[in-house]
Amino acid sequence: MSEPTSRITLEVNGRDVTADVPSRTLLVEFLRDNLGLTGTHVGCDTSQCGACTVHLDGIAIKSCTIFAVQAQDATVTTIEGLDPAADHPLQRSFQRCHALQCGFCTPGMIMAAASLLATDPTVGAAEVRGALEGNLCRCTGYQPIIAAVLEAGKELAG
Amino acid sequence: MTPFVYHRPTQLADALALLRDEQARPIAGGMTLIPTLKQGLAQPAALVDLAGIDVLYGIRLADGVIEIGAMTRHYDVATSPLVIAHLPGLADLAGQIGDLQVRNRGTIGGSVANNDPAADYPAAVLALCAEVVTDRRSISADAFFTGMFETALEPGEIVTAVRFPAPRRCAYAKFANPVSGYALAGVFVGVHAEGTRVAVTGAGPCVFRASAIEAVLARDPAAASFDAALLGPDGLASDLHASAAYRAQLARVLAARAVARLT
Ligand SMILES: Cc1cc2nc3c(=O)[nH]c(=O)nc-3n(C[C@H](O)[C@H](O)[C@H](O)COP(=O)(O)OP(=O)(O)OC[C@H]3O[C@@H](n4cnc5c(N)ncnc54)[C@H](O)[C@@H]3O)c2cc1C
Ligand code: FES
Ligand code: FES
């Protein structure tokens, strides 16, 4: 029996995409392998690390734990689409605050933080820690990441 | 992961028809099912996505009962003004499930249908005398959770909503496994006109009522601690995360914390 496929139509980083993919294709596989958007990383593939975090209709989700076909008709934003000039306040504050070392967790951290700040840019450190619970970093010790998110929040709140 | 055919019906009747095939499985948030498929522990020939069925969403209050549609995400329960006002313990519980990304996808229907021994929702459903509503009947919480990963659901039966009668007061206290986020033990206390119910999750093979603690609370609603004889290690789970004795101790302490939070 040949592999069952699904036709999917969704918007990725502002672009309409239509493709026929095996139904079991994960969203992260579709983004990386079909669309070449390799900014979204796979750290664990078991929903633990958050490196694969993207926005689905504006909210943070783990793209290793959703099939591409489940994103039918949805809007997906990856780190490449967060800001056309790669100049989002979070991208700047992560550099300023040294919130990355190897950078593996960074796209996921920024996408999770962006979803939090879009809800409320005035959040405090406790809320930031809470919202990033599903994102693991093996390098920084987290403190600079929290600082960077708070800084970006201040900028966004104006 | 084995290949499967994917369906996304928009009507409950169509989903039920597709699920008459024994090889088909419903998928809700996928937070439990997709990891299970990746490990090859389930190999369904077809997945029936419930996400396109509008009637499975939403939180409503009618006649003192809060009804939460099966596809309602944990995040939406945690932040619902209706739930926060009438069932603050439930909103608190939903906000403690996993992490933000998990709460943005996982659903109440998927959680109760799955009945993981360490899941949070079963404790609330049991302590709040909730009814699990399906496509064909309504099942009381006492009859719904039948064992480890086991429920009263028949093959092909879909949970459509959970109905919570608003209690006088309720609260949840959880000790999360720091790695998985699941409950090593979690205790939900619901104070009803008929009496107080105390449900324990995480500690045993299936959520259960701590009846000896309920009896103490009937005499002393503000009891500040519960001694070892009221909830012992017999029948509780022992694994690499914690011994049964440690889980029993956690459950007694969490029961006292939940009672203290009732105000
Ligand atoms: C990293 C991580 C951490 C987590 N931490 C916690 C935690 O701390 N506490 C906790 O309680 N849970 C936790 N979970 C589990 C999470 O809450 C899941 O969302 C939940 O267990 C299942 O819901 P779902 O909507 O994702 O269901 P799915 O994974 O889609 O489905 C689960 C099962 O239920 C069946 N099913 C789904 N919906 C229905 C329905 N309406 N009727 C009948 N059957 C149905 C499916 O066929 C499947 O067998 C965690 C998950 C992850 C990945
Ligand atoms: S790769 Fe998705 S959570 Fe780790
Ligand atoms: S910067 Fe290396 S894992 Fe976070």
CA distance A112 to A58: 10
pLDDT band per the 50, 70, 90 thresholds, residue B33: very high
The interface residues of chain A toward chain B in range 7-36, judged by CB-CB distance below 8 A, are 22-24, 26
What is the distance in angstroms between the CA of the first residue and the CA of the last residue of chain B?
Answer: 48
Whether A51 and A102 share a structural domain: no
pLDDT for res A158: 87
Among candidate residues A24, A46, A81, the one where a domain is terminated? A81
- The answer to whether A69 faces chain B, any CB pair under 8 Å, is yes
- Per-residue pLDDT tens for A46-59? 999 999 999 999 99
Among candidate residues A24, A48, A81, the one where a domain is terminated? A81
The residues near B63 (Cβ < 8 Å, ≥ 6 apart) are none
Whether A97 and A35 share a structural domain: no
pLDDT for res B205: 97
User: What is the chain A residue with the closest CA to B44?
Assistant: A24
Q: How is domain B169-261 classified at the architecture level of CATH? A: 2-Layer Sandwich (3.30)
**pLDDT of residue A2 exceeding 90:** no
- The answer to whether B102 faces chain A, any CB pair under 8 Å, is yes
CB B148 within 8 A of CB B119: no
Whether A75 and A13 share a structural domain: yes
Does residue B109 or residue A1 have the better pLDDT?
B109
Instruction: Detail the DSSP E strand segments found in B135-182.
Output: 138-140, 145-147, 150-151, 159-165, 169-176
Among candidate residues A17, A52, A81, the one where a domain is terminated? A81
CB B129 within 8 A of CB B140: yes
pLDDT for res B69: 98
Query: CATH assignment of B1-54?
Result: 3.30.43.10
Residue A5 DSSP code: E
pLDDT for res B179: 86
Give the three-class secondary structure for B202: coil
What are the beta bridge partners of residue A26? A67
Whether A10 and A73 share a structural domain: yes
CB B130 within 8 A of CB B141: yes
Tell me the mean pLDDT in the region B185-201: 97
ipTM above 0.90, yes or no: yes
DSSP 3-state percent helix, strand, coil across chain A (nearest 5): 40, 20, 40
Residue ranges of chain B assigned to CATH 3.30.43.10: 1-54
What domain range is A66 assigned to?
Answer: 5-81
**pLDDT of residue B90 exceeding 80:** yes
CB B262 within 8 A of CB B190: no
What is the distance in angstroms between the CA of the first residue and the CA of the last residue of chain A?
Answer: 58
pLDDT for res A140: 97
Cβ B3–A133 below 8 Å, yes or no?
A: no
Whether A56 and A19 share a structural domain: yes
Whether A35 and A97 share a structural domain: no
- Per-residue pLDDT tens for A23-42? 999 999 999 999 999 999 99
Whether A110 and A73 share a structural domain: no
Of A88, A86, A99, A102, nearest to A145 (Cα)?
A99
Whether A74 and A117 share a structural domain: no
The CATH number given to whatever domain includes residue A39 is 3.10.20.30
Residue ranges of chain B assigned to CATH 3.30.390.50: 169-261
Whether A76 and A9 share a structural domain: yes
The three-point CA angle B252-B258-B61 to 5° equals: 135
How many independent structural domains does chain A possess? 2
pLDDT band per the 50, 70, 90 thresholds, residue B178: confident
Task: Calculate the dihedral angle through the C-alpha atoms of A11, A17, A20, A22, rounding to the nearest 10 degrees.
Answer: -50
Whether A19 and A74 share a structural domain: yes
Of B261, B239, B218, B83, nearest to B148 (Cα)?
B239
Q: How many CB atoms lie within 10 A of CB A14?
A: 9
Atom in ligand 3 nearest the alpha carbon of residue A101: 1
- Please provide the average confidence, as pLDDT, over all residues in chain A: 97
CA distance A121 to A74: 24
- The answer to whether B51 faces chain A, any CB pair under 8 Å, is yes
CA distance B192 to A26: 45
**pLDDT of residue B263 exceeding 80:** no
Q: Name the residue facing A24 among B1, B51, B104 (closest C-beta).
A: B1
Give the three-class secondary structure for B194: coil
**pLDDT of residue A1 exceeding 70:** no
